[in-house]
Structure 1
Amino acid sequence: MSEPRAPDGDLSQFSMLELFRMEAESQTQSLTDCLLSVERHADPAALEAMMRAAHSIKGAAAIVGLDVIVQLSHGMEDAFIAAQHGLLKLSPNRVDVLLAGVDLIVQCSHLQESGLQEWLATQGDTIRRTMDAIRGIAFLPEPVAASPAPAPLPPATFTPPATFTPPATFAPPAPVAPVAHAAAVPEPAPEPAAPADTPAPRGKPVVQSDRLLSLAGEARIAAHQMQPLIQAMQRHKRHQAALFTALDELQEAIGRSGDPALREKVAQVVHRGQPLKQFILAHLVDMEQYERRLLNVTQGLVDEVLVLRMRPFRDGVHHFPRMVRDLSRSLGKDVRLEIRGEDTLVDRDILARIESPLNHMLRNAVDHGIEAPDARARAGKAPHGTIVLEARHRAGMLNIEIRDDGGGVDPERIRAAVVARRMAAQAMADTMSHAELMQFLFLPAFSLKNEVTEISGRGVGLDIVHDTIRDQNGTVRLESVPGHGFHTHITLPLTQSIVRSLVVDIGGEAYALPIVKVERVLQLPRVAVHTLESKQFFEFEGENVGLVSAAQVLELGEMMPQELLPVIVVGTGAHRYGLVVDAIRGEHSLAVHSIDPVFGKLRDISAAALLNNGEPVLILDVSDLLMSIDKLLAEGGLHQLARGGNAARRRMKRILVVDDSLTVREMERKLLSGRGFEVDIAVDGMDGWNAARSGDYDLVITDVDMPRMDGIELVNLIKKDPHLHTLPVMIVSYKDRPEDRARGLAAGADYYLTKGSFHDETLLDAVADLIGDAFR
């Protein structure tokens, strides 16, 4: 994948040869695209574009003294002009010759002066053959014969270029790996290019963008540090409001006593306190507005830095149409590649790393999938096969699909191969679903190809695809309909710099799992857990899924028993497990920080990050995690998760929620259950009073306005009861008037929270203030 081209506005830093190389790169890509287009159908616009591209290359090469390129581009330009005048048809064999000329231009444009003589010595025969082929392109028969047939007379208006003579001097820029020549020109194989999956050198701009992203992430975290301060100010505001309410009550009481001196003193205290109230209100609003502006700016900064790292999908796949065309020609097939979603933006690192997997899939599609023309004719298909490579964004992820209209894969052939290789017994293989059978194609050395070729059939390819996509926190899924084609679905994060993750608590620490690796999140009742041969499982989508403690897998000790087990379903097929965690915090976008290489590869850990509050979090390597689970299963050392209910109840704190609104009850119950509390509900004050007397609760949360018995009466009864008077009670009400708050606090309520200012963290903070965390 090429580096970004120089901006048009500032070219002074580049030499003439560097400018020529950039222009040649652009123009040769245009030539390749247009040649592939006119090979399929005549396109006057494409012919005009090719003529201009060849003319531009010729002129630019003449300026920098690259005579080899001047002569090559001149011959190609004459061929395009002849085609424009209807004197030459650009058939596949002629396109082969012209593509060979494009390849030589690319190779030559990337040479340095020091390597010129050696290149001319090794490629001189190839250059002469290519020039002769371009010069005689009008006489080239269709198809190419082993011994050239007598050529027809050349058109009178088509003048071949002069005989090629290598230049005496040459000074092009830095070398790159040569591009493979077209099959039409017989020649020795060029030196192999660097492997497609080898990452490109990380240049200074890339390192700088990484540093910018790190700083932008830290700025965002710093902006989020305002939230705890604002929450503390809000709590101070509530306490201040309670103080002023008490002062108002004191002023009323003194007023009734008739003591003028006391009345004057308390009036002065109330008067002096008014500015304090206004100060808190004004500055709290200012702080909230400042926080919003700061968050918007820092998030915008992160987004802009990410945009700098993004490249259009076309930058990583522009060479695939040529590869598919040349490969299909060598196999005697006619295959066309359609690329869709070329403008879809992809992280530059991901784009570089998925180039090799996509190359594998396309080569497999040409070799394995698309049938020969005669076979397609017998099947009633068009003589040419079609492969579609499409990229698009969906649900915050990058989706890449590769589909062809070839013969597909017969699942019965996979089933037979599985049995023949003794990977499964016949009885077990017969019960495997289509999706399960397709997974065998990802195994190393598993191939349905009988013969071994240079292209495929060695059992190498799909396992590399699977491993590479997995290493990028992605997933790959295969589908096939025999006789109608093969379909590959690849899902990847948009960027490896910011990862959408599910943050959970395990052993009292925060951990994150990439969202793309999470299949389902659920709350599992303990009664739904079953045990068989010391292994625990639960039913999920009609299958029994193993249940494993995340704390045990990570060697963090035993988890705290709960009535509802927070479960993260990960993995697929036989390697799908339910990972039990302490609590689920929610989804976060995390700026990824690599772990210092001095620590080596940490088992089950892939990277680290910081939460918005600055808390460090380790990002789990789900693939490693699945292997660790398999090892625990093999050793038979899994802990039991579902123990006796009484032990769990004794350790969990219980809360009674009393509210006549179903919506409010359920919202509060889910919030508190998610934090690990055991929650019971009551539909009104009377129901709550009966529950409070018969249960062992750590906290009661009640509404005020309810039928049969309101919340104030309930608080009075609880506080007057000799067995319940120490039980904390929180009132959550829509009433925010001072007199309503005063009634609640006078009845003995320990906390008064208004629903008007209510949000998730407000309730949870208030509960934590009263009774602490969820466990005794």
Structure 2
Amino acid sequence: MSHDQNGDLSQFSMQDLFRMEAETQTMILTDGLLALERHSGDTAAIEPMMRAAHSIKGAAAIVGLDVVVQLSHGMEDAFIAAQHGKLKLTPNRVDALLAGVDLVLRVSRLDDAGVAPWLAANAALIQKTMATIQGIAFLPEPLDLPPPFPSAPPVAGPGVAEAAGAGSMPEPLFEPEPGSPPGAGPAAEAPRALAEEAGAAPGARPLAPMKSAQNFDRLLSLASESRINAHQMHPFLQAMQRFKRNQSSLFAVVEQLHEAISSGGDASLKEKSLLALQKAQPLKQFVLEHIADFENWERRMLNVSRSMVDEVLAMRMRPFRDGVQHFPRMVRDLARSLGKEVRLEILGEDTLVDRDILARIESPLNHVLRNAVDHGMEDAAERGAAGKPATGVIVMEARHRAGMLSIEIGDDGRGVDLERIRRAVVERKMASATMAAAMSQAELLEFLFLPAFSLKDSATEISGRGVGLDIVHDTIRQQNGTVRIESELGKGFRTSITLPLTQSIVRALVVDIKGEAYAIPIVKVERVLKVAQEAIHTLENKQFFDHGGEHLGLVSAAQVLELGDSGATDAELPVVVVGGGARRYALVVDAIRGEQSLAVQAIDPIFGKMRDISAAALLDDGEPVLILDVPDLLLSIDKLLHEGGLHQLARGGHAERRRMKRILVVDDSLTVREMERKLLAARGFEVDVAIDGIDGWNVVRSGDYDLVITDVDMPRMDGIELVNLIKKDLHLHKLPVMIVSYKDRPEDRARGMSAGADYYLTKGSFHDETLLDAVADLIGDAHK
């Protein structure tokens, strides 16, 4: 969008206007130089850069910035020479021109009072840069450029960022340190400037000034209220329809009364009844016509209110390019500092994205690209040996898919060595060697999202500290999005990010909790169920139910939100499943109303961050609703579980406990005994233990068990004797018995089976699932 289209610019000073001009024209120069570096023979790219340099020169002359005039003139000369084939713009010469672009941008961002002091303080560096630009045809190899300029201050002046458009330019480039890779050029220190904690490009401006954001929030609130008012017509129309039906019944009675009077002989009554019938007809027609008018009015109001919301949201949408236009330069500079050749291609630049989301994903995208360049991309020699082009390519594509924003970032680098991840997992004791060996590619790649998990052998200023993908994962999840990664060794790495198109409108599941409406973002809801009271089981004071072979923990939403005890007395409980992986819980609510699209309204900052609550909204009928913060909610549930403070939901909790199948584990090894107990208890069984054969025999006779699991070699009475006693007992002979022993010779197995054992498992070969599968074969799942 041009500045002229942004309205009256008379409020801005000449320095502000020059800043706007510089922001736009330096971006053209940067994009053109990167394009020309990739396609050195494309002289058509030079013409726009010549115009940009000329525009900067003219604008700088107006505001009296002679330094910028000379710099721009030097760049113009270089472009003219290149256009006539007298000068080849090699990467080192492009570095010099980019350094000049950075200096122009740095000077443009100074306020009026700060220009002269800054120019005086940096005179030597400025002179060296200008001399390099003016003598660009004679640049030595490797390039000798001045050290970096100090960081630029924030852009001054209200509304300048918006008038200048979104996007940002990197700060001035830096010369290489001793020992930098050949050809690193002045970009060697660029990664340092780009590695700020916030992850944003240096000097980046907000995508909208605060006043614009406040105006938008107010407009969205008004549009939302308009939609609510339109929806409130519906109950009025329903009342009118009821009135019409009652009126029809009344008119029918009047007609019957008239017929009855007409059959009589009273002329006076007949005349009055006919008059009543005649006066009723216009009333009937009046109601019919006005109901139709009201329906048309409601339809128009709904259409207008929806259009208003859509238009307000459209004001918030920005093209994807506005948030990523500085990335090609960052990738190029970072690659050069590492002695690599990498280019970034951006597809779907016109894809519209909510400006808030665009601002918040800049840091995650920055991390992904930096990881791709540093971890994934090989140098030219390594790529050549692998049969790849010397220049690596990263492709970033944005598009709308299924009502969401999809961002794919793929490279043609070396990919990730899954075996290195496997070894790292074992070395850091995150899993046993056996568990790690059984992990799939997707499971192994998930470790890359963990904090402090890095495959780099040494930490650098760019990466290797384990900070990167964990930030990406957390930031995207905070925006109600998901991240998925894939890799093929030697072929490349791909990151797939899915996000809502906007945070201003959220599709939510509305539920009742203690008589109040609450909303859960639909992207955080895994499923909605009705759970019968008799299907709820209790283990160690925690309640759960079985769904598709998985035990889902039940938690009262009222208790988590500190609204009091749940009044769950119905035969079936409404349940909303939230979370993922091991942190999945079934929230018990009072009722489920259904889905609605809600215009999100921020809670006044005076309240601070409300625990378990992210925002507020108004339902279609005007009722206020709080939107639950699901990640926060999961933390609250974890805290309750840790403290053991969960309330019971199901009636008859003790009776439900007796419905669990009971297993007796007999083993003289404390380690083996406890491991088996934990495995079985986690699967939902009620487990008792005995320390040897005698103890086991006494326990099994005093309890009602569904299975006995016993060792063979034990003091006082071994497992074979215990099996014999059980199988010969009148009351226990049908009780299944499993032997788990280190003895794996055929004769040992035959001895156990001949004693009457129903299953023989060797400890040397079994793992967790083997034992659980054997138990399932004998007695099924944990529920009676």
TM-score category of the 2 structures, normalised to the smaller one:
0.7 to 0.9
- Structure 2, unaligned stretches of length 5 or more? 147-154, 162-168, 176-184, 656-784
Conserved 8 A contact 1:178-1:191: no
Cα deviation 1:115-157 (Å, max 9, x = unaligned): 123322332222222222222222235x516899xxxxxxxxx
Give 1:509 shift.
1.8
The corresponding residue for 1:367 is: 374
Tell me the amino acid that sits aligned with residue 18 of structure 1. D
Alignment pair present for 1:144 and 2:137: no
Is the partner of 1:7 in helix, strand or coil?
A: helix
Contact 2:407 2:497 in 1 (8 A): yes
The change in CA–CA distance for 1:106 and 1:291 in structure 2 (over 3 A counts) is same
1:694 counterpart residue number: none
Q: Which residue of structure 1 lines up, in the alignment, with residue 28 of structure 2?
A: 30
Equivalents in 1 of 2:538, 2:309: separation in Å?
A: 48
1:454 Cα offset (Å): 0.2
Q: Contact conserved, 1:59 with 1:70, CA < 8 A, in 2?
A: yes
Give the structure 2 partner of residue 323 of structure 1. Answer: 330
CA deviations 1:709-766 (Å, max 9, x no partner) are xxxxxxxxxxxxxxxxxxxxxxxxxxxxxxxxxxxxxxxxxxxxxxxxxxxxxxxxxx
Deviation string, structure 1 residues 274-314 (Cα, Å, up to 9, x no partner): 22222221111111111111122222222222222221111
- SS, match of residue 332 in structure 1: coil
In the TM superposition, 1:547-626 aligns within 5 A as 547-556=554-563, 557-626=565-634
Q: CA deviation at 1:332?
A: 0.8
CA 185–486 in structure 1, closer or farther in 2 if over 3 Å, else same: closer
Give 2:586's aligned amino acid. G
Query: Offset at 1:9?
Result: 6.0
Q: Quick one: distance in 2 between partners of 1:531 and 1:329?
A: 61
**Residue in 1 that maps onto 2:730:** none
Matches within 5 A, 1:280-359: 280-359=287-366
Question: Residue 237 in 1 paired to residue 248 in 2?
Answer: no
Distance 1:441 1:114 in 2: 48
Give the Å deviation of 1:269.
3.2
- Distance across 2 between alignment mates of 1:178 and 1:382: 28
Change (3 A) 1:545 1:379: farther
- Decide whether the 8 Å contact of 1:518 with 1:569 is kept in 2: yes
Whether 1:179 aligns to 2:171 is yes
* Distance in 2 separating the partners of 1:199 and 1:43: 32
Q: Measured at CA, do residues 60 and 178 of structure 1 come closer, stay the same or move farther in structure 2, by a change above 3 Å?
A: same
Contact 1:536 1:640 in 2 (8 A): yes
AA of the residue aligned to 1:598? I
Q: CA deviation at 1:566?
A: 3.8
What residue ranges of structure 1 are gaps of 5+ in the alignment? 149-171, 648-776
Indicate conservation of the 8 Å contact 2:28/2:52, yes or no.
Answer: yes
1:70-109 matches, cutoff 5 A: 70-109=69-108
Shift in Å at residue 16 of structure 1? 3.0
The Cα shift of 1:636 comes to 3.9
1:495–1:189 Cα change, 3 Å: closer
Task: Note the C-alpha offset of 1:518.
Answer: 2.3
Contact 2:354 2:501 in 1 (8 A): yes
**Structure 1 position 192, deviation (Å):** 5.8
Tell me, yes or no, if the aligned pair for 2:95 and 2:187 is still in contact at 8 Å.
no
Aligned to 1:69: 68
Structure 2 residue corresponding to 1:504, chosen from 505, 511, 527: 511
- Secondary structure of 1:571's partner? strand
Tell me what 2:671 maps to: none
CA contact (8 A) 1:313 1:345 kept: yes
Contact 1:180 1:190 in 2 (8 A): no
Aligned partner of 1:729 in structure 2 is: none
- What SS is found at the alignment partner of 1:339? strand
- Which amino acid in structure 2 is aligned with residue 57 of structure 1? I
Moved more, 85-94 or 29-38: 85-94
SS in 2 for 1:487: strand
User: Structure 2: how far apart are the matches of 1:15 and 1:199?
Assistant: 19
Whether contact under 8 Å (1:113, 1:173) holds in the other structure is no
In 1, distance between residues paired with 2:360 and 2:319?
A: 14
Do the aligned partners of 1:109 and 1:173 also contact (CA within 8 Å) in 2? no
- 1:699-738 matches, cutoff 5 A: none
2 CA distance for matches of 1:438 and 1:365? Answer: 15
CA distance in 1, matches of 2:316, 2:72: 35
Percent identity of the aligned residues? 67
Task: Give the conservation status (yes or no) of the 8 Å contact 2:174–2:188.
Answer: no
Q: Is the 8 A contact 1:344 1:391 kept in 2?
A: yes
Q: How has the CA–CA distance of structure 1 residues 360 and 542 changed in structure 2, closer, same or farther, with 3 Å as cutoff?
A: farther
- Partner residue, 2:216: 209
Match of 1:686 in 2: none
For normalisation by structure 1, the TM-score amounts to: 0.74
Change (3 A) 1:186 1:612: closer
Structure 1 residue 427 displacement after superposition: 4.3
* Contact 1:57 1:70 (C-alpha < 8 Å) held by counterparts: yes
Alignment partner, residue 751 of structure 1? none
Q: Distance in 2 between matches of 1:247 and 1:474?
A: 64
Instruction: Encode CA deviations 1:559-600: one digit per residue, 9 max, x unaligned.
Output: 534455443332222122333333332222211122222322
What's 2:286 paired with? 279
Cα 1:540/1:404, change in 2 over 3 Å: farther
Q: Report the Cα offset of residue 30 of structure 1.
A: 0.5
Q: In structure 1, what is the Cα distance between the partners aligned to 2:617 and 2:37?
A: 51
- SS state at 2:5 partner: coil
- What code does the residue aligned with 2:624 have? P
Q: Is the 8 A contact 2:187 2:333 kept in 1?
A: no
1:661-676 pair list within 5 angstroms: none
Aligned-pair CA distance for 1:55: 1.7
Q: 1:760 is matched with which residue? A: none
Answer yes or no: is the 8 Å Cα contact 1:341–1:392 preserved in 2: yes
CA change 1:334–1:559 in 2 (3 A) is farther
Aligned to 1:459: 466
Residue matched to 1:514:
521
Contact 2:71 / 2:100 at 8 angstroms: preserved in 1? yes
Check the 8 A contact 2:324/2:362 in 1, yes or no: yes
* Deviation at residue 258 of structure 1 after TM alignment: 6.4
Report the Cα offset of residue 540 of structure 1: 5.4
**CA offset at residue 463 of structure 1?**
2.3
Distance 1:528 1:253 in 2: 63
The answer to whether the 8 Å contact 1:30/1:53 transfers is yes
1:269 — aligned with what? Answer: 276
CA contact (8 A) 2:528 2:577 kept: yes
Q: What is the match of residue 117 of structure 1? A: 116
Whether the aligned pair in 2 keeps the contact of 1:182 and 1:326 (CA below 8 Å) is: no
Counterpart Cα distance in 2 of 1:626 and 1:604: 9
Q: Secondary structure at the match of 2:467?
A: coil
Which of 370-379 and 522-531 deviates more? 522-531
* 1:581-633: CA deviation from partner (whole Å, max 9, x where unpaired): 33332222211122222322222111111001000111000101111222233
Q: 1:427 to 1:287 in 2, by over 3 A?
A: same
Counterpart in the other structure of 1:51? 50
Q: How many residues align?
A: 620
Pairs within 5 Å for 1:186-205: 195-196=198-199, 200=206, 202-205=209-212
Question: Shift in Å at residue 642 of structure 1?
Answer: 5.2
The answer to whether the 8 A contact 1:39-1:92 is kept is: yes
Q: CA RMSD in A?
A: 3.2
Deviation digits for residues 225-264 of structure 1, max 9, x if unmatched? 2111111111222222233334444445555666655554
Work out which of the residue numbers 615, 628, 634 in structure 1 matches 2:636. 628
CA deviation vs aligned residue, 1:515-558 (integer Å, no higher than 9, x gap): 22223344556676565555444555664443433233223321
Specify the alignment match of 2:400 in structure 1: 393
Q: Are 2:132 and 2:145, in contact at CA under 8 Å, matched by a contact in 1?
A: no
**TM-score of the superposition, structure 2-length normalised?**
0.73
Deviations 1:613-660 (A, max 9, x none): 000111000101111222233334444555579x9xxxxxxxxxxxxx
CA shift in 2, pair 1:8/1:444, >3 Å:
closer
